[in-house]
Structure 1
């Protein structure tokens, strides 16, 4: 995954897009925007129901005709895009309508109150009994207080509804930043975190990254199935979360690759963390949930790099990626840093 531009999403997106287009061509599927959205999401992962539906169609040699493609889009893609937006829009529209009604009522009540008090004042000039005037004035003030209390209660209720909407939007935003399968941060959240961390690192604070790839994952997946493969990825995510610090960001980089960004950690500290992760995975036991069968141990390869002030994030990640592939080329189940990468480059 050599980076070719400053956007760290480029290679990943291009890879997924290429696989999607090749599969669509193999299945004879027209490359329309809606069809592309289906297959891009299929290869990007994170939506198990879509993947299971497509795998089932392929296993049964079902054709991907226009009706099937449309059903896939409407069932698995369109609802994800529009449901939250539509629901939130409708609720906000209702709240704004209610607020407008409350304000209109408040203005009308205020006008009526001022008119009533003015009439009481006019009666005072006409020599009406002061006791009667005081009684009328107290009555108008009581009515005004009742209306104000009612309006305040209405506004308080709508404010609570607004809090619910705000919470819903916050949770929706969190889901948009989270990988569905692993529960880790996704590429969007990763990019945002890296940009902020880079700003601090350019002032001299160390910043390191470790990039993880599961050894022989395709063979493992082919042998034991996608369900077990997903179980392995969830195990990886759990170990990664446990081994990094609270200030660090563990994320899914793409496919079977995971990444962790460690602000404040130099190369040595990041390498120690990477080694703890490697050992924990190598010592883990994986049991097939459906049968209780104990599966072969898995291992991981890890590349580690430290940010160099002023460099592009893409170059930073690319250097870590090269260290990872040096680890895989050197026998796997090991941690390789950019120092060893530099040595290998000097020797070649």
Structure 2
């Protein structure tokens, strides 16, 4: 439910749920900020099943609603639903136009049917009055022919409306797909990543199953770009995207996280499993040979550093990725072209 939809609630209904939201926030010691209130009002209304499940799981696990958790709940379940609606509004206008046309067709058909019924009624009255039946039969046949013709036109118009609705549905589906796809690599983008992680996070907490993430960064990518050009750099990113697709399960999500960083979410995988997958990806990328398309020149090998972390129940996606990022940069400091897990962060801290 968007902000505009909230504004349409009547006073008594909105007040009752606002009071319910405030009571819940007080019970779980959630600071009554505007963003937090928006989150808990939406939770109290029950209009977002994902938000309700996430908060219920946090409550069931006796998790504290600290600033990071509250911020993540708002970002993932409230702000994510209030993005750019320009495409949706455009499709809504198209749909309204089709429905208005269909309504007009029906109104015309109803008016024509009334006229026809009146004409047939007049023929019946004249027949009962003893008028010569020959012209009456002719008139009746004419009216029936008109009815058949109108029905055919109405059917054709509704068939056209159906085709327009199908086109709108297809365009909307393609628009949604474009909005969630990185144009360079063809991988899911940040928006798709957040949506997937939200569902995977809830499923992991409900089922008590592991959920892990690997974060990939290309070693010396800026130097590579400066030496061989951004076109070759783009070619490298597309190659990495292809490797990710090949090495991950259908249930996993590879995505472009930003710049030269790619990410993968692996539901059901613990830290050791995710690290093993990351190592296979690292090794495969290091074995790839890249040729400059314009000159067929063989370019230097590409290597990547990968940080791996496992989801801890109740934490935000940002917290998990932050640990993966720290592990990734530990891999960079230790010589690059390697996989480092969050477990090694603990060991490094203990040794320091």
Question: TM-score scaled to structure 1, two decimals?
Answer: 0.71
Q: Which residue of 2 aligns with 1:152?
A: 155
Q: Which residue of 2 aligns with 1:290?
A: 294
Report the Cα distance in structure 1 between the residues aligned to 2:272 and 2:147, rounded to whole angstroms.
71
Question: TM-score scaled to structure 2, two decimals?
Answer: 0.70
Q: Which residue of 2 aligns with 1:229?
A: 233
Post-superposition offset of 1:323: 1.4
Q: Which residue of 2 aligns with 1:274?
A: 278
Report the Cα distance in structure 1 between the residues aligned to 2:133 and 2:276, rounded to whole angstroms.
88
Report the Cα distance in structure 1 between the residues aligned to 2:289 and 2:336, rounded to whole angstroms.
19
Q: Which residue of 2 aligns with 1:323?
A: 327
Look up the SS of the partner of 1:227 in the other structure.
Answer: helix
Structure 1 gaps of 5+ residues are 11-80
Q: Residue by residue, what CA displacement relative to the aligned partner does 1:25-47 show, whole Å, maximum 9, x if unpaired?
A: xxxxxxxxxxxxxxxxxxxxxxx
- Choose the corresponding residue for 2:253, options 249, 253, 265: 249
Contact (CA 8 Å) 2:88, 2:172: kept in 1 or not? no
Contact (CA 8 Å) 2:270, 2:310: kept in 1 or not? yes
Q: Which residue of 2 aligns with 1:36?
A: none
Closer, same or farther: CA 344–177 of 1 in aligned 2, 3 Å? same
> C-alpha root-mean-square deviation of aligned residues, in Å?
3.0
Structure 2 gaps of 5+ residues are 1-67, 76-84
Report the Cα distance in structure 1 between the residues aligned to 2:117 and 2:160, rounded to whole angstroms.
27
Q: Residue by residue, what CA displacement relative to the aligned partner does 1:37-72 show, whole Å, maximum 9, x if unpaired?
A: xxxxxxxxxxxxxxxxxxxxxxxxxxxxxxxxxxxx
Q: Which residue of 2 aligns with 1:308?
A: 312
Query: Which structure carries more relative contact order (alpha carbon 8 Å, separation 6+)?
Result: 1
- Choose the corresponding residue for 1:198, options 176, 197, 201: 201
Number of residue pairs aligned between Structure 1 and Structure 2: 276
Report the Cα distance in structure 2 between the residues aligned to 1:7 and 1:87, rounded to whole angstroms.
30
Post-superposition offset of 1:96: 4.6
Aligned 1:61-140 pairs, distance under 5 A: 92=95, 95-96=98-99, 98-128=101-131, 137=140, 139-140=142-143
Report the Cα distance in structure 1 between the residues aligned to 2:344 and 2:164, rounded to whole angstroms.
57
